[in-house]
Amino acid sequence: MSVEEQIRDIVSRIAHVDKGIITRESTFKDMKADSLDIVQALVAVEEAFDIEIPDEEAQKFQNFGDFVSYVESRAAKKDEA
């Protein structure tokens, strides 16, 4: 499963939203995710990929695609290390 698919699964489970409507352009508002959903999604993704996502970075995510790209780059760096 790709990073994107794994994150889509996590967000869909936490925000109780159908996976089908989550595209890379979807904002957290589109996904009906409130602030707690976002925190829980960050925690779940951090655990799934064994990375840390600083809140300052998370605040820059404009949409689902930004979230995925950030995790992909962190996961890649981790693989190199």
Partner 1 sequence: MSFEGKLALVTGSGRGIGRATALKLASLGCDIIVNYFRRRETAESTAKDIQALGVRAEVVKANVGDPAKIDEMFDTIANRFGYLDILISNAASGVGRPIMDVDVKAWDWTMDINAKAFLLCVQRAVQLMEGRAGTVVSISSLGSRFVWPTYAAVGVSKAALEALTRYLAIEMIPKGIRVNAVSASAVNTEALQFYIREGYVKDSKQTTPAGRMVTPEDVANVVAFLCSEEAFMIRGQTIVVDGGTSVAPFIPGGQEQA
Residues marked active site are found at 34
Least Å distance, CB 45 to partner 1, is 11
Cα(31)–Cα(1) distance, rounded to whole angstroms? 21
Cα(78)–Cα(35) distance, rounded to whole angstroms? 28
Nearer to partner 1, 25 or 51 (CB): 51
Sites of contact with partner 1 (CB under 8 A): 35-37, 40, 42-43, 46, 52, 54
Nearer to partner 1, 24 or 32 (CB): 32
